[in-house]
Structure formats: C-alpha cells, structure tokens
Amino acid sequence: MDKTLKTVEEELNWLIKDYKATTDYKPNKHVETLNYNVVYDRKNIKLTFQFLMLPKEDSLVLKIIYLIRDNQKDYHQVEYPLSKIRTELNLPMINEYDYQRIHDVMDYEVLGDKIKSTVSQLTQGLTFTEVIRRNIKEIIKHGRTLRKIQLEKN
C-alpha cells in the first residue's frame, strides 16, 4: 500500500471506532483504491469514502458515494467526485471553508502530454481526512436527506 494511503488509514481510524466503518483495499497497476464504508439508518444508507491513488498523475482523489435503498429495496447511487470541484461541483454537506480547501488541493498542470497534480498526494490525503473529520455529521445527515428525497419520488 502506498505511503499516502497508509497515512489516510491512520488518520481515519476514528471512523472505524466511532461509526463502525469497514475498509477494503484494491491494488491495481493504474490505481490503488481504499474504501471506507459506513452503513446506517437500518442498512438503508451506505456511505463510501473512496480514495483513489493515481500514480501517473501523482494525485489522490476522493469520491463520496451514497448508496440509498428505497422502500421497494431498489438502490440509488449518488456520487460526489471531489476531482470535479473546479467544475462548480455542488457539495451541500461540506462547509464553505473546507470546500475552498478541497478546491485548492485539486490543482493540476499539463506537463507535455500528461496531467500532473501541483499539490503533493500527502497534502491532498491529509486535507481530505480533515474535511471528513470536520464535516462527518453533515455528510451523514446529507445521506438521510437524499433518502428522504428518494422516498418522496416513489
């Protein structure tokens, strides 16, 4: 496992203790994936923090994924890929200060024919873990809001 992902793992230990999160890790030649899964509201909501280590781009990205189960037991997925923050991605569960911090660490430049991050992977990882820590209650609350919206549609 990459050093940055190990640091993320250490920083998010509290998620396992406080929210009964489970983790899974998938190595690959092109991307390493570390997931933190939190299941709540009687197993109707699964919240996943998906960390993707992209070695070619020297970048770490985070996706916040909600898997919402409706009354018919169908699943609906809502994703917030933080890598798209510069395209006016709406993150209602993240406060303004942390939104700006994410925006700042998702800075890239083009070198030749490759896109490279201008911010170190470790800085990105630590920023993401701090954002999760400070906004976890709102992130969980947003999952409940998404489920309520889904139930109203059905």
Q: How far is CA 42 from CA 38, 103, 116, 137, 145, in A?
A: 12, 34, 42, 17, 15
pLDDT digits (tens, 9 = 90+) for 143-153: 999 999 988 88
b/e sequence 41-58, b meaning 16+ C-beta within 10 Å: eeebbbbbbbbbbbeebb
The string of pLDDT tens digits covering residues 90-118 is: 999 999 999 999 999 988 888 887 778 88
